[in-house]
Amino acid sequence: MQGITIATRASPLALWQAEHVRSLLCAAHPQLAVELLRLSTRGDEVLDRSLAKIGGKGLFIKELEVALADGRADLAVHSYKDVPMQLEPQFQIGAVLEREDPRDCVLSVRFGALEQLPAGSRVGTSSLRRELALRIHFPELQVGAVRGNVGTRLAKLERGEFDALIMAAAGLKRLGLADRIRQILPTSVFLPAPGQGALAIEIRAGDARVAQLVAVLEHAATRAATQAERMVSLALGGSCQVPLAAYAEVEQAQLRLRAWAGSVARAQAVHGQALGPFEQAEALGRAVVDQMKAQGVEQLLSAAPEAS
């Protein structure tokens, strides 16, 4: 059997994810040789501006897609929340892996929970979604932008640049840093981003050999849940410039999808939810968007430029 090459960013978390996929592929296909191609992306290189201002999360995958297109790599591993809602036609998602913890969490040197932070405390986040949740539920706290990989962010916390950070629990757990988590935030307040906690494998469209190799990693429930979530984002023009949350959970053999979107400047959001079968995941997403549109979400999103 021929070998394959995985394109990956060079950050510790991206390398963990690529190595994880490599180990799964080698276990499923013992004769398969799997190599890693480490690449730097613009999203990794530009750290002094927010993602919303430099082009969005798609900056984390462009160089990897170039490597796929020119044949240097056969697949790329992404945090699914970083993947644009619409791929270029020459690419496809070959597999969606079973989800890790999708929730947000709090890291702090001095405090055990957001509720313990004194008024005026500085909380770091890279996400407009998290910023909006903070402005709605914890308006007494100050929100500051923080970029960089996990280690960079933790170093800023240790230096006292922030009193707390809000990050995805999945990345910390994957890096063996679960002991740094002070509080897991409930989804009733901090609803996750579409695809948060899930890994997606991107391949060239029509590459039957690679598609067959990665198919063994597919997790049907996570695929359906993330399809519903991503449809919400797609229907609302979702990107990191839109404060938007969407999360689908399995409930009695169906999907329960919850979502919200709004305005950081106004500290307002509208909500929607629906229950439906797995095979109608995208229709479920559209139904929730229709609810939110009926509440004026489009006017809210276009009312004012976002703060970060």
> Which residues are catalytic, by number?
82
Q: Distance between CA 59 and CA 61 in Å, rounded?
A: 6
Q: Distance between CA 216 and CA 95 in Å, rounded?
A: 8
What is the number of alpha carbons within 13 Å of residue 180 lying toward its C-beta? 25
C-alpha distances (whole Å) from 200 to each of 88, 274, 303 are 15, 25, 33
Map 60-87 to HEC letters. Answer: HCHHHHHHHHCCCCCEEEEEHHHCCCCC
Q: Distance between CA 242 and CA 263 in Å, rounded?
A: 8
Mutual orientation of helices 150-158 and 12-28 as an angle, nearest 10°? Answer: 140
Tokens in use for 308? 């970060």
Tokens in use for 15? 């390398």
Q: Taking a C-beta distance cutoff of 8 angstroms, is the pair 224, 281 a contact?
A: yes
What is the number of alpha carbons within 13 Å of residue 271 lying toward its C-beta? 10
CB count within 10 Å of CB 301 equals: 20
Which residues lie across from 199 on neighbouring strands?
79
